[in-house]
Amino acid sequence: MLLRKILVTGAAASLLLLPGCAGSAKDAASGGGGGGKSGMIPVLNLPAEVDASVGSLVNYNPYSAKPATQTWLYEPLMMQNSLDCKVTQWLATDYKWEGSDKLIFTIRKGVKFADGSELTARDVAFTFNLTKRYPAMDLAGVWNDTFGAHATSVTAQGDKVTFQFSGAAVPKFQGIISQKILPEKKYASVGDPTKYIDKNPNGTGPFKVGSFNGRRLELVRRADYWQASKVKVSKLVLEGQPDATQALLQLRSGKLDFYSGEIPNPRKAFVSSNPKLNHVWYAPNGITALAPNLKKAPFNDVKFREAMAYAINKQDATLKATYNMMHVASQSGLVMPNRESMLPEPYTAENTTLPLDLAKAGKLLDAAGYKKGADGFRTNKDGSPLTIKFSVQAGWIDYEAMADSITASFRKLGLNVKEVKSPPDTVDLAKKTGQFDMMINFVGSGCDYANGLGATLETAQIPTKSEVRGNVERFSDPAVDQAVKSLQATTGPAAVKKQVGVLAKTMMTQYPVMPILYAPARGIYRTDKAVGWPTEKDPYANPQDAILLIMTNLTPAK
């Protein structure tokens, strides 16, 4: 909640001013701690998954707007690690594309719902056919044309579930494997599932509800879970949604074991207080980039954009926005070095990371006709004054820090940049209306390039009056559109690489957006109870969105 954030930022500031006092926080430690005797972790404390909870109004239905937990009760078909793109089998043991319009899953045998009944392929087909009847639960867009053609049927036969699409639909894979599978027995008779209040969840997940008192949700391990041997946590406690200050105090005192929210300078604030037990890993989750409005002069001039790309002090921005927790980004639009193999010749991780070079940027601008006027600021080609309004999301501290750094650097180049800070909602509105000069925007970097970088460059993804879409800068190029279209129909690695090459080359030569740094997926955790969290050396899961996978890797601390 924004208000709470503002209030507590104040408190956080006072904490920083009084470092002596901050250390004396005495939040009573709760939870079992220790463990290891029986090879189990007695209890693990996590933040609540929903920001709103009041009284007894609880709902475990995974398709409601804010279920009490998304993760632990109902499970998906598979999980894809967004960092290395490896697919982990879950309720499905295998998948196969036949062409680009037919997808077949093999459903795992021996999986039991909490009530003891067995999961079958019929439950899977039932879930997806339910999303056809009730578009409100079609989170994967299976039955409409978002990212690929819509499905015409989903059928079960034996242990196989077959998706038939009306055309190429490869980008839907990520969404389909993430849908939570419902038991047909329970959900067939509830009417509109999104309006159903599920108080007695019956999922296939590793935990079941122990108790909920309106605030504190206790989940108990299921001994009959299909991979119970991998789950070493006996009890999970989900309580409260702490903000940065509270989370830091709770993490330090052991009241919280894992957090993936933002804590300013976590190395200094958290890790350094006990380097043995306190750890932090920020994985590169995507790209934060500067997005100019290409419909407007001078941003419609590629030479001007090239100069901008060389005038961003990425090192400085990264230091100020993330305390060097993250790395500066490659102009290619792909996360380096993880995806270096996707780059076409002659690009490498190194040569796509543009250095700060104000002299070069200045020469580019001079040559393109943006000369300095009498007041020291550069003018448009026709000599008229050139001012750039920089729309900044107020309250997003890291974005504000990046914006400040960029503004300072651009002004050194002679560009008259003025920051206009407004609430993120207002900036989103500007994305829709196109009334902005430049802003900071997120560029996706999933394993599906059509959904990720493709969405930032494809003409069809230019935001509309009513919908924020990926192509905020309003870039348009038929060659890129063709490449994205091919990606939607391609599963072969060599063909994918070829099309991604088109996108990366566009980024390197057209400068539609200027990547600044890799956006973090945060993992801030303690190892006094459990070990086996993903780390930079062992990035088996994205710490932000794969806690279920992480759970099956945790073991008691010695």
How many alpha carbons lie under 13 Å from residue 29 in its C-beta half-sphere? 11
Residues of span 104-163 touching another protein by CB under 8 A = 134-141, 144, 146-147
Residues of span 495-554 touching another protein by CB under 8 A = 519-521, 544
Output the smallest distance, CB 136 to another protein, in A. 4
Residues of span 384-413 touching another protein by CB under 8 A = 396
Contact 68, 50 (CB under 8 A): yes
The letter for the amino acid at 359 is A
* Burial degree of 355 (CB within 10 A; 0-12, 13-18, 19+): exposed
Tell me how far CA of residue 351 lies from CA of 175, 200, 229, 332, 347, in angstroms.
34, 56, 47, 10, 6
Q: Which of 20, 74, 393 is nearest to 225 (CA)?
A: 74
Q: Which of 86, 195, 371, 418 binds another protein (CB under 8 A)?
A: 195
Say which residue the tokens 């801030």 belong to. Answer: 524
Residues of span 229-288 touching another protein by CB under 8 A = 239-240, 242, 245-246, 249, 285-286, 288
Output the smallest distance, CB 56 to another protein, in A. 7
Binding segment toward another protein, per CB under 8 A, in 8-16, 88-96, 223-231, 328-336? 8-16
How many alpha carbons lie under 13 Å from residue 80 in its C-beta half-sphere? 16
Question: 94: left (phi > 0), else alpha (psi -120 to 50), else beta?
Answer: beta
Q: Is 10 a residue that touches another protein (CB under 8 A)? A: yes
Binding segment toward another protein, per CB under 8 A, in 56-64, 341-349, 352-360, 376-384? 56-64
Nearer to another protein, 66 or 418 (CB): 66
Q: What track of x and - describes contact with another protein for positions 66 through 95 (by CB under 8 A)?
A: x---x-------------------------
Q: Is 29 a residue that touches another protein (CB under 8 A)? A: no
Cα–Cα distance for residue pair 357/311, rounded to 1 Å: 6
Residues of span 438-457 touching another protein by CB under 8 A = 442-444, 446, 451-452, 455
Cα–Cα distance for residue pair 187/456, rounded to 1 Å: 38
Residues of span 288-317 touching another protein by CB under 8 A = 288
Binding segment toward another protein, per CB under 8 A, in 53-61, 100-108, 219-227, 268-276? 53-61
Output the smallest distance, CB 326 to another protein, in A. 10
Q: Which of 133, 216, 371, 418 binds another protein (CB under 8 A)?
A: 216
Size of the site for another protein (CB under 8 A): 79
Nearer to another protein, 121 or 507 (CB): 507
Dihedral (Cα; 298, 299, 304, 305), 10-degree rounding: 170
Q: Is 491 a residue that touches another protein (CB under 8 A)? A: no
Q: Is 197 a residue that touches another protein (CB under 8 A)? A: yes
The continuous run of DSSP H or E covering 155 comes out as: strand 151-157
**In the beta sheet, which residues pair with residue 278?**
526
- Helix%, strand%, coil% for the chain, nearest 5: 30, 20, 50
Nearer to another protein, 138 or 306 (CB): 138
Residues of span 461-490 touching another protein by CB under 8 A = 466-470
Output the smallest distance, CB 113 to another protein, in A. 23
Angle between helices 2-17 and 244-253 (to 10 degrees): 60
Angle, CA 64 vertex, CA 465 and CA 107 arms, to 5°:
105
Cα–Cα distance for residue pair 455/463, rounded to 1 Å: 11
Q: What track of x and - describes contact with another protein for positions 158 through 177 (by CB under 8 A)?
A: -----------------x--
Q: Is 59 a residue that touches another protein (CB under 8 A)? A: yes
Q: Which of 38, 152, 166, 211 binds another protein (CB under 8 A)?
A: 211
Binding segment toward another protein, per CB under 8 A, in 5-13, 111-119, 223-231, 336-344? 5-13
Who contacts 201 (Cβ-Cβ below 8 Å, separation ≥6)? 60, 61, 73, 74, 114, 208, 209
How many alpha carbons lie under 13 Å from residue 227 in its C-beta half-sphere? 13
Q: Which of 19, 37, 39, 55 binds another protein (CB under 8 A)?
A: 55
Nearer to another protein, 361 or 394 (CB): 394
Output the smallest distance, CB 46 to another protein, in A. 15
Binding segment toward another protein, per CB under 8 A, in 48-56, 116-124, 290-298, 327-335? 48-56
